[in-house]
Structure 1
Amino acid sequence: MPQRLRPPPPNWRCAAIAREAPRPATPPSACARCRSARYERALDHDPRQRGRLCGKARHRPRPHPPRGQRAREHPHPFRRVAQTAKAYHRNGWGTPGSATLTINAREIAVRDLTIENTYDYLANDRLPDGAESKIGNPQAAALLLDIESDRVRLDRVALLGYQDTLFANGGRALIRKSLIAGNVDFIFGNGQLLIEDSEIRTRTRAAPYTPGEFQSFVAAPSTPLSQAHGIVFHRCRLTRETGVPDHAVALARPWHPTTRFADGRYADPQAVGQALFVDCFMDRHIHPDHWTEMNGTARDGTMTQVFRAQDSRFAELSSSGPGAPARDIGMRWKSPMGIAAIRREIMAGMPQD
């Protein structure tokens, strides 16, 4: 049976769980009797052992820091990136393999947690195209909601990354009163995700930007056509870091994942993404078109098939703020359900406060 995650102390900065590389062998003991080097290392992983004395006064444990202080002062960095993270995923996929935290269980409640992938995306983004050291797959997820996850609730969390910060690849999830930060497709996937009363913060890019073009994209849903709900933003604030240009960010673009079928490997035509923004504040960084297209894998293996926003299930309702006014680009899809009915369906069976 899946085990429930025990909530950590407030503001605990999360590293990879059951995903870190094997640690080096234990260093030589400082003392044959107390094995203080081993003891001190054990304290780093299990502070409950503090208080046991080794028998020698000079080897008494260090004072225990106040609750949460140790994590704030000594965060455990996790810098996996899709280019090199294939070994961390069961099927050898780099993007989910890069995730700092993976949740793959049901009825999970997570509160007061910062989850960050600290890969230096900007350093790679700054390199010119064609540079030998520039990697082509800089996706670095902070949180992966994996295929067995369902009825996952996150309150007062901070999900920090750049490209592909949050990968919704499972069932239903609710995120409330939280911060999600990134730049390229930083909330994406085929899951049913309701984000409420949260800040959706676009982060800067280091690559050169041409005014009028799209620099970044908030969401990239790949919702199956058979699924009613995709990524829903309710009463959220779409903000930006200093340096993000005006009119440079799309609300969403349609991701059709490359999938293997009996007749070949190409973009999934049944992944008709659904993204809905209801009662959201939008700052001036939102592009006046609001939505844009995305290329996918054609049957000949090239990234030449274009999927249009107009053919997706994208909509917004009652937006406000300087980025809310939208140019008519022919978006016609409307949600057949109101936000109250959507909330009931996604939140059914969620862990309660």
Structure 2
Amino acid sequence: MNSIMKQTTFTILILLMINSCSCISHSKSSNELKVAEEGYINWVKSWGSLKHTPFQEAKNKLKPCKTIKVHKKSKKGGFTSIQQAINSIPIFNQCRVVIYVAKGTYREKVEIPSTMAYITIQGASMKKTIIVWDDTANRTGNNGKPLGTYGSATFAVNSPYFIAKNITFKNKAPIPRSGELGKQAVAMRISADTAAFIHCKFIGSQDTLYDHQGRHYFKNCHIQGSVDFIFGNGLSLYEGCHLHAKTNAFGALTAQKRDSLLEDTGFSFVNCKVTGSGALYLGRAWGTFSRVVFAYTYMDKIILPRGWYDWGDKNRQMTVFFGQFKCSGPGASHGGRVSWSRELTQEEAEPFISLSFINGHEWINNL
């Protein structure tokens, strides 16, 4: 749960406690106590549904106030590295800045700070503009400690209203051997609200795309990995994306981290395609209330008949929300799926299959 949700939850609970005490001390009315209890129950239900979001109304800014160019050759003008271009932007940025990145492979580790909102990174195409690094979780950082999964990212975004177009984010660390520890290697970590990725490619093996927190939109993207290659606790819609597994053993496409009924998070895949090698779970229940839905998605034969894994905790079978809706392909049959996954009805699928899932009508316009 993010800090806003924690603070709101704490405030409401305190108010409910005060209200209950007031009822007892002044009238001790059973009817008033009943009303307070019902109010609390209804509040919990609303926070657990997809009709409520803890995020404030999003107001995006798309008209650029500044453009910056990045080119590997200094003679072409502008900056020669992406991080240099980002560092040139005011630390408390409040207008849309577009960074045009020319074709080429940029070998650098990039991070955008939390105060630098409204940044767009636009490449020549996902095949021509590539940002690559090779950190892993067990690699030692500048502080002498392991980077961890969080710190292993080739490209990390901590600021809201980020947009990326026509670019590849890659972590070229090799595929880890079975059982090898500390080899998580993130290509992209997105740790902020209202981010959009259009025609982008994410290449890695274990833990490729860290969909950490916030509302995110992925449109016509290519995401490649082996184990948990889309993971985190974001509220994210993947539309028209190609999800490609690259493993010779067992792998998992998603590991969603929703840990509470009160968290309005989850991953929804709509009109996507799943291909690759190995034997793949659609998802593992990293969080107790993990939530993932696939709708209108083609699934190749690499998908294991069981479909889903409970992370070795049978109690999670009662709390997760794993579903499919009108999927196709040899790996899409629901007949062999675990009993605690769902073949959704139209009504059940409806909240997951449009931009309303991420309140997109507020902040996704003409991207």
Alignment of 1:318-329 (within 5 A): 318-326=326-334, 327-329=336-338
Amino acid in structure 2 at the alignment position of 1:158? K
- Show the counterpart of 2:63: none
The C-alpha deviation readout for 1:117-162, integer Å capped at 9, x for no partner, is: 01122xx417xx6xxxxx511100000011xx11101000000000
- Show the counterpart of 2:110: 17
Q: Secondary structure at the match of 1:83?
A: coil
* Contact 2:304 2:331 survives alignment (8 Å): yes
Ranges in structure 1 where 5+ consecutive residues have no aligned partner: 20-66, 130-134, 210-214, 257-270, 296-304
Alignment of 1:75-154 (within 5 A): 77-84=132-139, 87=142, 94-121=148-175, 124-125=176-177, 136-146=181-191, 149-154=192-197
Select the residue among 224, 235, 241 that pairs with 1:192.
235
Distance apart, 1:96 and its partner CA: 1.1
Q: Which has the higher contact order (CA 8 A, sep 6+)?
A: 1
Distance in 2 (alpha carbons) for counterparts of 1:239 and 1:309: 26
Q: Secondary structure at the match of 1:349?
A: helix
* Contact 1:234 1:279 survives alignment (8 Å): yes
Distance in 2 (alpha carbons) for counterparts of 1:93 and 1:168: 18
Distance in 2 (alpha carbons) for counterparts of 1:93 and 1:6: 30
The ranges of structure 1 where at least 4 consecutive aligned residues each deviate by more than 4 angstroms after the TM superposition are 2-5, 10-14, 85-89, 305-310, 332-337, 339-342
- C-alpha change, 1:293 and 1:5, in structure 2 (3 Å) is farther
- Show the counterpart of 2:253: 218
* Contact 1:10 1:113 survives alignment (8 Å): no
Alignment of 1:299-318 (within 5 A): 308-309=316-317, 311-318=319-326
* Contact 1:113 1:156 survives alignment (8 Å): yes
Select the residue among 350, 360, 365 that pairs with 1:338.
350
Aligned length: 256
Q: Secondary structure at the match of 2:162?
A: strand
Distance in 2 (alpha carbons) for counterparts of 1:163 and 1:337: 29
* Contact 1:85 1:97 survives alignment (8 Å): no
- C-alpha change, 1:169 and 1:77, in structure 2 (3 Å) is closer
Q: Which of the pair is proportionally richer in strand?
A: 2
* Contact 2:167 2:201 survives alignment (8 Å): yes
Distance in 1 (alpha carbons) for counterparts of 2:324 and 2:103: 33
Q: Secondary structure at the match of 1:194?
A: strand
Amino acid in structure 2 at the alignment position of 1:6? V
Amino acid in structure 2 at the alignment position of 1:152? A
The C-alpha deviation readout for 1:33-52, integer Å capped at 9, x for no partner, is: xxxxxxxxxxxxxxxxxxxx
* Contact 2:281 2:303 survives alignment (8 Å): yes
The C-alpha deviation readout for 1:81-106, integer Å capped at 9, x for no partner, is: 001155589x9760010001111111
Distance apart, 1:343 and its partner CA: 1.9
Distance in 1 (alpha carbons) for counterparts of 2:222 and 2:200: 6
Ranges in structure 2 where 5+ consecutive residues have no aligned partner: 1-91, 113-122
Distance apart, 1:223 and its partner CA: 1.7
* Contact 1:5 1:109 survives alignment (8 Å): no
* Contact 1:107 1:151 survives alignment (8 Å): yes
Paired-residue identity, %:
23
- Show the counterpart of 1:294: 311
Alignment of 1:32-51 (within 5 A): none
Q: Secondary structure at the match of 1:107?
A: coil
Range that drifts further, 219-228 or 274-283: 219-228
* Contact 1:7 1:111 survives alignment (8 Å): no
Distance apart, 1:198 and its partner CA: 0.9
- Show the counterpart of 2:362: 349
* Contact 1:153 1:175 survives alignment (8 Å): yes
Alignment of 1:62-81 (within 5 A): 77-81=132-136
Q: Secondary structure at the match of 2:177?
A: helix
- C-alpha change, 1:236 and 1:88, in structure 2 (3 Å) is farther
- Show the counterpart of 2:293: 276
Distance apart, 1:10 and its partner CA: 6.0
Distance apart, 1:281 and its partner CA: 0.2
Distance apart, 1:330 and its partner CA: 1.1
Distance apart, 1:287 and its partner CA: 0.6
Distance in 2 (alpha carbons) for counterparts of 1:332 and 1:217: 16
Distance in 2 (alpha carbons) for counterparts of 1:11 and 1:204: 29
- Show the counterpart of 1:34: none
The C-alpha deviation readout for 1:195-228, integer Å capped at 9, x for no partner, is: 00010000124xxx4xxxxx00000001242133
- Show the counterpart of 2:25: none
Q: Secondary structure at the match of 1:344?
A: helix
* Contact 1:2 1:105 survives alignment (8 Å): no
Q: Which of the pair is proportionally richer in helix?
A: 2
